[in-house]
Amino acid sequence: MRLLKWAFPLFPLISALPQITRQGKYLFDPSGNRFFIKGVAYQPQGTLATDSASNEANGGFPEPSSFIDPLSSAQNCTRDLPYLKQLGVNAVRVYSVNSSLNHDDCMKMFDDAGIYVLLDVSLPLNGSIDRSSPSWSTNLLNEYTTTINAFLKYDNILAFNIGNEVINLVSNTNAAPYVKAAARDIKAYLRGLGSSVLIGYSAVDGDADFRNTLAEYMSCGDDSISVDIYGLNNYEWCGNETITSSNWNTITSGFSSLPVVTYMSEYGCIFNPPRLWTEVTALFASPVSDVFSGGMAFSYFPTSDGYGMVTIDGNSVTTSDDFTRLSAQYNNTKPPTSITKSSAPAVTTISCPSENSTLLASSTLPPTPDEAVCDCLNANAFACLVKQSSANSPTIVGALIDYTCSLLGANGGSCDPIGGNGSSGMYGSLSMCSPAIKLSYAMSAYYGTNPVSTSCDFAGNATLSPHPPNTAQDASTAAQSCLAQQPSGGVYTISASSSVPTGSTTASGSGSSSTPSSSSGSSSSSAIRSSGTGWTVLFGLTGVLLGVVLGVRM
Ligand SMILES: *[C@@H]1O[C@H](CO)[C@@H](O)[C@H](O)[C@H]1NC(C)=O
Ligand SMILES: *[C@@H]1O[C@H](CO)[C@@H](O)[C@H](O)[C@H]1NC(C)=O
Ligand SMILES: *[C@@H]1O[C@H](CO)[C@@H](O)[C@H](O)[C@H]1NC(C)=O
Ligand SMILES: *[C@@H]1O[C@H](CO)[C@@H](O)[C@H](O)[C@H]1NC(C)=O
Ligand SMILES: *[C@@H]1O[C@H](CO)[C@@H](O)[C@H](O)[C@H]1NC(C)=O
Ligand SMILES: *[C@@H]1O[C@H](CO)[C@@H](O)[C@H](O)[C@H]1NC(C)=O
Ligand SMILES: *[C@@H]1O[C@H](CO)[C@@H](O)[C@H](O)[C@H]1NC(C)=O
Ligand SMILES: *[C@@H]1O[C@H](CO)[C@@H](O)[C@H](O)[C@H]1NC(C)=O
């Protein structure tokens, strides 16, 4: 059921690709046959971040600091389409798009050619959950829903990916509750619109314990919180490997009890060249095909580290031997037809793994980001606000959050209300707010320790609120009434209208460079994490304390 199609009947429905649906751990086409992804990554490499920490390749996709939207140029899609057809793909994976551009031509061209699009909705830098200082916040929610709004009208959207390799080490599995909350809220948003497009996550590979435990965490629980489709970025099959030497047999058995669709969201090791792509045969045959539903070969476009299969000069494309070998493999593939929708195993769920030393993730997820509550706090409970010009720079906001929180800490205050802890499952009331509103909280709390105008300057980055609360008591009362707007439990379905960005003063970025890709995060915003301990005086020395009101949700 895809209601939006009727709302935006851009193309004759006759040319539309049928929607692929999920039943349990498999994908099916409308005739009830299993659908296997024969795909390729279709994302030109953006400008790479200049710091080496964020350039650590892991699976071959260095961290970009800017991106090119590959679905925005009809000319380029026209140029590439014959080669995608030659490759024999039925899907492409696109990592970053700009929702304000027009994608009609590329999407229609691919649709006509039988090519589905699996779209990542996060963006480089401040457009994704930051593994080193994670939060699931209004600015990200708005970005994701805006992208989804721009793409839901196309028939050939296979899935929206909520994140790529956000969690890349055991030590940042504490980011997993935020990613899962994002999947929960975006899934509810889609279902609320009558769309059954799948919600996915793509994981970095790791040792078996890390790989399996995270996959269980993301796919556990009932349908409202589990992802529909779980991708593994896997580069273990190199050159002439076998199913045993590549670990694909252990990987397959490790994923065999997952109740959701799994696939290789990136594959194609370049070590031991040439790439023979013999893993394609394994991918589309039992036992791997009993668990996995195909994969996305990496990568159509050239990358600086050698994963590309074509080279491009303006409007001309030159293919490599890699390309020809993959094309031959995809052409020869006949995925098994033994399982059909009616003969498929019963749909199951699994219970969520308990927290342990390989999974520092609570099963208590953070609340649904609520922009109205954040805006209300910003307008009524804060005395000192970050200036809009500064709020426009994610770097300045990040630096000022770190600075202000340490200043506040040294003055007996705390940034706990804007932090959260995915391990303990405790989330500050403002953990869901945009970085700018978090900063205004911290600035207001600091101002409250010494309410003179010089306390609200921050080298010209802050200004007193036009309507500041007069006393700490007023601030608390205002905060309490803002928070009371939140539905009990904090989890609810965002409606289409409430997700549209309002252009209010809340838009801003996270200060730390977060990553949709493959390296370790670099932020040091440890100051904004919750300590989980008691609350301290935040707004002067008298009255009910704002910090108490804005404490953590458990
Ligand atoms: C999206 O494209 C618009 C129009 O070209 C541009 O102004 C904006 O900066 C782009 N956004 C991103 C996130 O790249
Ligand atoms: C790779 O495997 C194929 C098929 O088994 C074999 O013919 C070929 O000699 C092997 N190549 C190398 C370099 O081992
Ligand atoms: C289109 O292709 C040209 C040539 O490779 C490239 O410079 C440009 O960035 C591409 N634009 C988009 C939107 O893909
Ligand atoms: C695979 O099939 C496509 C479409 O039929 C064709 O254009 C391409 O040349 C084939 N590739 C190989 C390596 O035979
Ligand atoms: C942590 O829990 C998971 C899931 O229950 C389990 O697979 C894994 O082995 C456990 N790790 C340790 C170190 O006990
Ligand atoms: C704002 O804060 C940033 C980061 O601390 C600083 O570089 C800048 O000079 C401050 N003032 C203004 C007006 O941006
Ligand atoms: C990232 O920062 C840019 C520039 O400040 C801003 O326009 C954009 O809304 C931010 N994105 C998110 C998701 O916060
Ligand atoms: C988060 O909670 C865990 C588990 O309760 C605790 O061990 C850890 O120290 C907390 N992290 C921070 C930064 O407070």
CB of 45 closer than 8 Å to CB of 38 = no
Ligand nearest to the CA of 80: 3
Q: 519-531 as b/e, with b when 16 or more CB fall inside 10 Å?
A: bbbbbebebbbbe
Residues with CB under 6 A from ligand 3: 44, 68-70, 72-73, 76, 312, 314
Ligand 3 pocket: which of 67, 68, 75 to mutate (most atoms <8 Å of CB)? 68
Nearest ligand 6 atom to alpha carbon 395: 4
31 Cβ closer than 6 Å to some ligand 5 atom: no
Q: Within 10 Å of residue 20's Cβ, how many Cβ atoms?
A: 24
Task: For CA atoms 325, 331, 337, 341, give the dihedral sign.
Answer: positive
DSSP 428: E
CB of 113 closer than 8 Å to CB of 89 = no
424 Cβ closer than 6 Å to some ligand 8 atom: yes
324 Cβ closer than 6 Å to some ligand 4 atom: yes
Ligand 4 atom 9, closest CA: 86
List Cβ neighbours of 95 (8 Å cut-off, separation of 6 or more): 41, 43, 67, 120, 164, 516, 517
| Residues designated as active site | 165, 266
CB of 131 closer than 8 Å to CB of 176 = no
pLDDT-flagged residues of the chain (< 70): 1-15, 49-63, 497-554
Angstrom CA distances, 542 to 185, 492, 537, stand at 39, 35, 8
Nearest ligand 3 atom to alpha carbon 72: 13
Q: What are 217's two structure tokens?
A: 């965490």
CA distance 268 to 336: 22
- The closest of 385, 383, 380 to 506, measured between CA atoms, is 385
Nearest ligand 3 atom to alpha carbon 315: 4
257 Cβ closer than 6 Å to some ligand 5 atom: no
338 Cβ closer than 6 Å to some ligand 1 atom: no
Q: Give the distance (Å) from ligand 3 centre to CA of residue 309.
A: 16
CA distance 184 to 144: 13
Q: Give the distance (Å) from ligand 1 centre to CA of residue 73.
A: 14
User: 12-343 has which CATH code?
Assistant: 3.20.20.80
65 Cβ closer than 6 Å to some ligand 1 atom: no
DSSP string for residues in 2-40: -HHHHHS--S-GGGPPPPPEEETTEEE-TTSBB--EEEE
356 Cβ closer than 6 Å to some ligand 5 atom: yes
Model-level pTM greater than 0.85? Answer: yes
Residue 398: the pLDDT is 95
Residue 52: the pLDDT is 40
Q: What are phi and psi of 449, to 5 degrees?
A: -75, -20
- Give the three-state DSSP class for 111: helix
Ligand 4 atom 3, closest CA: 86
- The closest of 117, 108, 121, 30 to 296, measured between CA atoms, is 117
- The closest of 309, 320, 304, 324 to 60, measured between CA atoms, is 304
Q: Give the distance (Å) from ligand 7 centre to CA of residue 8.
A: 28
358 Cβ closer than 6 Å to some ligand 5 atom: yes
170 Cβ closer than 6 Å to some ligand 5 atom: no
Q: Give the distance (Å) from ligand 4 centre to CA of residue 324.
A: 8
List Cβ neighbours of 11 (8 Å cut-off, separation of 6 or more): 108, 111, 155
- The closest of 90, 86, 84, 85 to 115, measured between CA atoms, is 90
Ligand 1 atom 6, closest CA: 100
Amino acid type, 548: V
- The closest of 484, 480, 458 to 469, measured between CA atoms, is 480
Ligand nearest to the CA of 216: 5
DSSP 171: G
Ligand nearest to the CA of 390: 6
At 454-503, the pLDDT tens digits run 999 999 999 999 999 998 899 999 999 999 999 888 999 988 755 433 33
Ligand 3 pocket: which of 73, 103, 300, 316 to mutate (most atoms <8 Å of CB)? 73
Q: What are 547's two structure tokens?
A: 């910090």
Residue 254: the pLDDT is 98
Q: Give the distance (Å) from ligand 3 centre to CA of residue 76.
A: 6
DSSP string for residues in 75-91: HHHHHHHHHHHHHT-SE
CA distance 15 to 113: 10
327 Cβ closer than 6 Å to some ligand 4 atom: yes
Amino acid type, 536: T
Please measure the distance between the N-terminal and C-terminal CA atoms of the chain and give it in whole angstroms: 36
Strand ranges in 271-407 using DSSP code E only, listed in sequence order: 292-297, 310-313, 316-319, 384-386
DSSP 514: B
